Structure 1
């Protein structure tokens, strides 16, 4: 799609060849880049599971005619629009059970019980922070729907959020609208899902859990704000199987991860948001999308030199096809996340290590054999054109020289292009020596951070000029 988008932007007509399972995702990608209704030549099945003979036959017998039609016939920009309720329409009425069944039938909820978003509830939710309900923050790139304070609040009421959470939700909506984040990729087939990370005074002021069970549901702020994100993606961004969620498996809804600000202050480390230009005292929401995660349990050792190899091994173990974001689907955009419990962070700090020291050590230890890296970005995933070796990629300037220190296929190479690519957060039970690692999806939901503005809004204040 991106090649077609570049061609169309230059005034050159195009047709994109896609497999049948990617049709709605292709439409969302085109819409997200300002080109809705681009012509598609749809092939049956999936090319990765077809022999060369079957693929060539499908191209000759099916794709060619569709390409010619796409280039010569008028473009039909989507089907007739499906009527949707407007913001103040009564979409459902009756008993709680009847409202629930109506929402289920229309796909407006996540299958769990919810609080009906009556006009009174939504009005009251917004009134606390005095925002203009009809302020439009932007247009959802994957669906074309307006993103308003009202739409944010409707889904927040459904999720069970508190009015005090609204500034966090607005920051999340702004991230989803940021082209650098790429919300139109939220339904890609590998099923990566967003993780919201809160740092700053909001962690304690709004009751986010940063201790035991930091990534488990059950704590009100973490759970409801995390649920809001999935509902908002569903109802505003079209994150449904009928629209553009094409995850093969997907992940369970992720609760908000809150950093342990007290522990960070004690050891003199900055929060994860500091990697994106913010200070320790700033209220910040940081988001990225992750494919998979794993626990690094019972970390043993009393010094950094003893602990780093185990943490690095965890990061290497969860890195698979995602390495195509080192070179391929994205260049130098793979940024895995390491979450360490406060006791591990204190051990590093007691030895005089900064976060950058930890990153540098991880860069040296989080490595895999070159042959495995090359298979993951080429032979096994089929996502990097040409299947070039790392030596060839380094010679062409696509990856750093450290990836090509020799031609030995068993040499160990890094999983990121630079130590700064390791994201590190501190959270979890302060008395347990465990860590958690997550593999991120590169530019398909890239690391993005926004300030959380909890001041009373002046949207509805009249100015005198």
Structure 2
């Protein structure tokens, strides 16, 4: 893919937009454990022509990725196909033209691909994530080229903004370790409970990373289109109850796995009364937000990789 030469003048614009000194260390990024300074981020952002106004967002996203709870070293080195996805809340999403509606996960015009690509270049050029060298990813994924960057469609959501439910109001960015996207399609359900049942059951399949007993915990995320969100909230207005129902349905009977898998589940304490195994430990690990077009019919599941804890930070000095 083409890159723009990062001239000193262009880089200086990005540094200035950050509101921070050029040599300020944003984060130490593994696996190379290199200092990512504002200037180094600016160089990579300039090459993609990401909006200069996005510097505070990108800075905050890198700080969130470097949080020990996010386990960036493991994420960057794993055999899995995980990538840090960015979910943006607050006015900054519209100011930066980050999509929340139709095509928000890829294909729609806007700044998201440039922002995502800038951060992917940071992971490659600064953090040192190199396929076959420091990264053992067996397949990778398209999100490792231009990232996964989208916003919650707050105006169409019947619930409080996703970041606010995680303790951060206003402009915020959440980083989530996404294995990619999975489409969920339904043409039949006409109640909130019916939709949640089919969505929840669609999340659980035996080889999903969430079922790995080697992981201490797991998370999963569902982006619900505005039409479905309205239907769900009509019948089930409390988002915590929505999460609880999704968690309830995102389980599988133990006998869906061959016998050698049973003992590891037992030792890990993963089997519920009744002999079922949940995809994630509890309802609070099922994230729900509103995004996508008004074409109805679909939701998007973003399964997590495993030992990464989703991290949300306020975006200061936002555009």
TM-score relative to the length of structure 2: 0.91
Structure 1 alignment gaps of length 5 or more: 1-111, 380-386, 457-465
1:51-76, Cα deviation, whole Å (9 max, x unpaired): xxxxxxxxxxxxxxxxxxxxxxxxxx
The question of whether the paired residues in 2 share the 8 Å contact of 1:309 and 1:365 is answered with yes
**Pairwise mapping of residues 141-290 of structure 1 onto structure 2 (< 5 A)?**
141-185=30-74, 186-241=76-131, 243-253=133-143, 254-264=147-157, 267=158, 269-279=159-169, 282-290=170-178
The question of whether the paired residues in 1 share the 8 Å contact of 2:206 and 2:256 is answered with no
Structure 1: distance between partners of 2:206 and 2:100: 23
**Pairwise mapping of residues 92-131 of structure 1 onto structure 2 (< 5 A)?**
112-131=1-20
Structure 2 alignment gaps of length 5 or more: none
1:208-234, Cα deviation, whole Å (9 max, x unpaired): 111110101342321111111211100
C-alpha distance 218-349 of structure 1, shift in aligned 2 (>3 A): closer
Structure 2: distance between partners of 1:369 and 1:237: 41
Structure 2: distance between partners of 1:419 and 1:138: 31
Q: Kindly tell me the number of residue pairs found equivalent between the two proteins.
A: 315
**Pairwise mapping of residues 361-440 of structure 1 onto structure 2 (< 5 A)?**
361-372=245-256, 379=261, 388=263, 390=265, 392-393=266-267, 398-399=268-269, 403-406=271-274, 411-440=275-304
The question of whether the paired residues in 1 share the 8 Å contact of 2:70 and 2:309 is answered with yes
Name whichever of 187-196 and 313-322 sits farther off: 313-322
C-alpha distance 303-273 of structure 1, shift in aligned 2 (>3 A): same
1:283-329, Cα deviation, whole Å (9 max, x unpaired): 111112122431012453221122122101221138624312xx422
Structure 1: distance between partners of 2:207 and 2:187: 19
The question of whether the paired residues in 2 share the 8 Å contact of 1:374 and 1:389 is answered with no
More strand by share: 2
**2:168 matches 1:293:** no
C-alpha distance 128-301 of structure 1, shift in aligned 2 (>3 A): same
What's the C-alpha RMSD, in Å, of the aligned pairs? Answer: 2.2
> Based on CA coordinates, which of the two structures has the bigger radius of gyration?
1
C-alpha distance 255-416 of structure 1, shift in aligned 2 (>3 A): closer
Pick 1 or 2: higher relative contact order, CA cutoff 8 A, min separation 6.
2
C-alpha distance 192-438 of structure 1, shift in aligned 2 (>3 A): same
TM-score relative to the length of structure 1: 0.64
